[in-house]
């Protein structure tokens, strides 16, 4: 019974979240599994418990405040912005204390060369504020999603917008389901 209630809660939360993927090439990463009956299920069809079993241990570098997130397979490491140059973690989270700095012309070449998924948690600006010198950082933009992410891989560039926009930019106001979805995107990219 608890599992059914949990699945219903996750389904309701997922219904309130939006995910968009923008690729410059038509390739899309999908984590899937073949069921006992031979059917193929995508990662988004799994229950929360099944997703946690599938996720591999990740180390996420966090530029800013580490989120309060209860997941035993994720190791968050607080780093300074220069860690983005090294790209030694599975992915990066950037929080509101560093949005303005990382949207500067000085950081745009670093941001546009990231080869690991990087997410701006609770960002109120479009991804172009961090990648395009002609777009100034501002909190006056109409938010397109709760959290935005990008990666510039060898074959393609990906951008993500996950969840519904939120009034708060505090990382700890991020719903756990949004963080789950972000971590799924990181795993999908790694398995790609």
The pTM of this model reads 0.72
- Which of 9-18, 33-42, 66-75, 174-183: highest mean pLDDT? 174-183
What is the predicted pLDDT for the residue at 107? 95
Distance between first and last Cα of the chain: 35
Q: How far apart are CA 123 and CA 145, in angstroms?
A: 8
The burial of 108, by beta-carbon neighbours within 10 Å (0-12 exposed, 13-18 middle, 19 or more buried), is given as middle
Q: How far apart are CA 22 and CA 29, in angstroms?
A: 12
Residue tagged 């963080």 (tokens): 179
Exposure string over 9-46, b if 16+ CB within 10 A, otherwise e: ebeebeeebebeeeeeeeeebebeeeeeeeeeeebeeb
Helix (H) or strand (E) holding 40: strand 40-42
pLDDT tens readout for residues 27-47: 223 334 445 665 555 555 666
Proportion of the chain above pLDDT 90, given as a percent = 35
Under the banding of pLDDT at 50, 70 and 90, the label for residue 51 is low
Percent composition of the chain: helix, strand, coil (DSSP 3-state, to 5): 30, 20, 45
pLDDT tens readout for residues 120-177: 998 877 888 899 888 877 756 777 788 999 999 776 789 999 988 888 888 888 888 8
What is the average pLDDT across 71-86?
Answer: 91
């Amino acid at each position: 019974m608890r599992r059914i209630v949990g699945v219903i809660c996750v389904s309701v939360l997922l219904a309130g979240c939006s995910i968009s993927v923008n690729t410059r090439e038509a390739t899309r990463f999908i984590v899937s599994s073949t069921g006992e009956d031979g059917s193929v299920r995508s990662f988004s069809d799994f229950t929360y418990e099944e997703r946690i079993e599938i996720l591999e241990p990740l180390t996420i570098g966090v530029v800013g405040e580490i989120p309060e997130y209860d997941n035993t397979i994720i190791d968050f490491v607080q780093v300074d912005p220069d860690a983005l140059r090294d790209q030694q973690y599975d992915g990066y989270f950037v929080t509101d204390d560093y949005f303005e700095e990382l949207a500067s012309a000085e950081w745009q070449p670093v941001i546009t060369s990231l080869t690991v998924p990087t997410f701006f948690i609770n960002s109120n600006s479009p991804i172009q504020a961090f990648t395009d010198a002609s777009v100034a950082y501002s909190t006056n933009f109409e938010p397109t999603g709760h959290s935005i992410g990008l990666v510039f891989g060898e074959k393609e560039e990906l951008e993500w917008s996950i969840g519904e926009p939120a009034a708060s930019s505090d990382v700890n106001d991020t719903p756990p389901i949004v963080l789950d979805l972000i971590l799924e995107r990181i795993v999908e990219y790694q398995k790609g």
